[in-house]
């Protein structure tokens, strides 16, 4: 898989200068990593693309090629694939669409191409996909509009368009990815293969998945069950309704299957199933941050107290442990407690009230004293820190209080809920720069608390 995710040489078949084209998008993305690898462009109708010499065919390149990317109209794909196999490249991505998702003729063509790559023992991604991205080695072998930041979430998606939008969202919200894979029609490598790759990837702490169909169910359950002993898998399943299942067939030629069957399979495999795109990445971010304290900028890895062989480690107080809510607004404490109850998040009994309302005039010093007091109590496994915006509230200083407290109590997550907008932004930005999430809704913070305290796969 090194030749796919960290190639030393890449050839793009279908490179072009045409504005708005897939070939141009991929060419630009590949050149952004030109210091890491050799880049070759194939276009028989043009001498240069982006001021780089082109070749008429991959057969004209005499150097060894690790990765070939095919982005030509479907009618030319088979011949290009034959030439790619003649050169014995290490791996191949077929971006082009018009295969099984387009009907019977496309399905026949896809089968022929699949057999061709199998005969030549060449790893194949696609067809009908966006490509792959590995930010750690500056590889953007896709036509995504931007390169995502480096992070600890591997995102595997049957949909390429979803990856595009998630990259845009991640750049705004300051979270990153270890790997991104659009696997399309799975004529070659499948979701199961990419799950194993993400599990072996040292930068990956959480695996997020969007899927429409699992083609090898028993194998998926076996693989996922092993992975989730060490790394969480969070899945969003498309095609649960009759209307959704019909849409899936024209999207990636998949058979979406029965919702209850998939839910049972996910439960058996030990994965977390979510219902929205928002929850997919909210929970993935929370798990990636709080699975180890070393994920947070400047936090000492040597002091990590959570287990490397589980996510997360059990609370030091065992079954008697639970969460505490700290708030300067009674209403937000009540609403958060309601959501905790709905999601089965245990609020521990302590000497103070829980939620503990320190009132609207609470200064940062008062917040700090209360927070440290809670964290020192052995029965408290984590704190939900709620801030509403009053005249005397200092969001930036409160954010600093949270960061400093989290450094002292590495095994007890502090989940910030800073409600507000313009004025609150200074605090939420500081949290983000220091590797923590700011939650915007009581429901979201309770949901993440549920999965942080419970290693058992669940669906809400």
CA distance 143 to 30: 9
Q: Which residues of 38-67 are buried (b: 16+ CB within 10 A; e: fewer)?
A: ebbbbbeeeeebeeeebbeebeebeeebbb
Q: Which pLDDT band holds residue 247 (cuts at 50, 70, 90)?
A: low
Q: 262, 458 in Cβ contact below 8 A?
A: no
Q: Residue 245 pLDDT more than 60?
A: no
Q: Residue 210 pLDDT more than 80?
A: yes
What percent of the chain lies above the pLDDT cut of 90?
82
CA distance 280 to 159: 14
Q: Which CATH number fits domain 1-129: 3.30.420.40, 3.20.20.70, 3.40.50.720, 2.60.40.10?
A: 3.40.50.720
Between 417 and 453, name the one with better pLDDT. 417
Question: For position 305, what pLDDT does the model report?
Answer: 34
In degrees and rounded to multiples of 5, residue 131 shows phi and psi of 125, -160
Q: Residue 314 pLDDT more than 70?
A: no
Question: For position 184, what pLDDT does the model report?
Answer: 93
Q: Which CATH number fits domain 300-453: 3.40.1160.10, 3.40.50.300, 3.30.420.140, 3.40.50.261?
A: 3.40.50.261
Q: Which pLDDT band holds residue 258 (cuts at 50, 70, 90)?
A: confident
Question: For position 306, what pLDDT does the model report?
Answer: 35
Question: For position 156, what pLDDT does the model report?
Answer: 98
Half-sphere exposure of 88 (CA within 13 A, CB side): 3
The reported pTM is 0.90
Question: For position 453, what pLDDT does the model report?
Answer: 80
Q: Which fold has domain 148-290?
A: Rossmann fold (3.40.50)
Q: Residue 246 pLDDT more than 80?
A: no
Question: For position 244, what pLDDT does the model report?
Answer: 52
Q: Which H or E element spans position 9?
A: strand 9-13
Question: For position 239, what pLDDT does the model report?
Answer: 80
Half-sphere exposure of 436 (CA within 13 A, CB side): 30
- Alpha-helix runs per DSSP H in 302-420: 330-342, 364-375, 395-408
CA distance 158 to 252: 8
Q: Residue 251 pLDDT more than 50?
A: no
Question: For position 260, what pLDDT does the model report?
Answer: 84
If you average pLDDT over residues 194-210, what whole number do you get?
Answer: 97
Between 1 and 157, name the one with better pLDDT. 157
DSSP-assigned beta bridge partners for residue 63: none
Domain ranges of the chain: 1-129, 148-290, 300-453
**Residues contacting 103, CB < 8 A, separation 6+:** none
Question: For position 320, what pLDDT does the model report?
Answer: 75
Q: Residue 181 pLDDT more than 60?
A: yes
If you average pLDDT over residues 223-234, what whole number do you get?
Answer: 95
CA distance 112 to 397: 62
Each residue's pLDDT tens digit, 354-386:
999 999 999 999 999 999 999 999 999 999 999
Q: 149, 175 in Cβ contact below 8 A?
A: yes
**Residues contacting 137, CB < 8 A, separation 6+:** 5, 6, 33, 36
Query: Average pLDDT of the chain?
Result: 90
Q: Residue 294 pLDDT more than 60?
A: no
């Amino acid at each position: 898989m090194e030749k796919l995710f960290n190639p030393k040489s890449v050839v793009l078949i279908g490179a072009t200068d045409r504005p708005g084209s897939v070939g141009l998008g991929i060419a630009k993305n590949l050149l952004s990593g030109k210091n890491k690898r050799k880049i070759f462009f194939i276009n028989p109708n043009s001498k240069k693309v982006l001021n780089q010499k082109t070749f008429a065919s991959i057969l004209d390149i005499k150097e060894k090629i690790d990765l070939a990317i095919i982005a030509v109209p479907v009618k030319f794909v088979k011949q290009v694939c034959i030439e790619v196999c003649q050169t014995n490249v290490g791996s191949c991505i077929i971006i082009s669409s018009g295969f099984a998702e387009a009907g019977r003729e496309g399905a026949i063509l896809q089968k022929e191409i699949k057999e061709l790559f199998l005969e030549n023992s060449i790893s194949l991604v696609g067809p009908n996909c966006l490509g792959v991205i590995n930010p750690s080695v500056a590889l953007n072998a896709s036509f995504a509009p931007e390169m995502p930041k480096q992070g600890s979430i591997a995102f595997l998606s049957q949909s390429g368009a979803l990856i595009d939008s998630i990259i845009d969202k991640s750049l705004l919200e300051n979270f990153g990815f270890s790997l991104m894979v659009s696997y399309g029609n799975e004529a070659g490598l499948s979701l199961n293969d990419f799950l194993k790759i993400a599990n072996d990837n040292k930068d990956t702490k959480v695996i997020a998945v969007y899927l429409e169909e699992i083609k090898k169910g028993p194998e998926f359950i076996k693989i996922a069950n092993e992975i989730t002993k060490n790394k969480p898998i969070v899945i969003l399943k498309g095609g649960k309704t009759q209307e959704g299942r019909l849409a899936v067939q024209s999207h990636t030629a998949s058979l979406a299957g029965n919702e209850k069957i998939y839910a049972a399979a996910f439960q058996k495999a030990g994965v977390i199933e979510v219902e929205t795109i928002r929850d997919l990445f909210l929970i993935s971010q929370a798990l990636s941050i709080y699975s180890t304290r070393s994920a947070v900028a400047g936090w000492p890895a040597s002091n990590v107290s959570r287990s490397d062989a589980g996510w997360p480690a059990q609370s030091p107080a065992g079954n008697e442990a639970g969460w505490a809510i700290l708030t300067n607004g009674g209403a937000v404490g009540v609403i958060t407690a309601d959501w905790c109850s709905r999601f089965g998040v245990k609020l521990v009994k302590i000497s103070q009230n829980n939620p503990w309302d320190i009132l609207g005039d609470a200064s940062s010093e008062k917040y700090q004293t209360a927070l440290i007091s809670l964290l020192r109590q052995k029965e408290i496994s984590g704190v939900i820190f709620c801030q509403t915006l009053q005249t005397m509230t200092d969001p930036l200083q409160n954010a600093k209080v949270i960061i400093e407290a989290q450094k002292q109590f590495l095994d007890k997550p502090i989940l910030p809920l800073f409600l507000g907008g313009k004025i609150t932004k200074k605090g939420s930005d500081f949290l983000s720069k220091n590797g923590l999430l700011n939650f915007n809704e009581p429901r979201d913070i309770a949901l993440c608390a549920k999965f942080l305290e419970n290693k058992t796969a669940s669906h809400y």
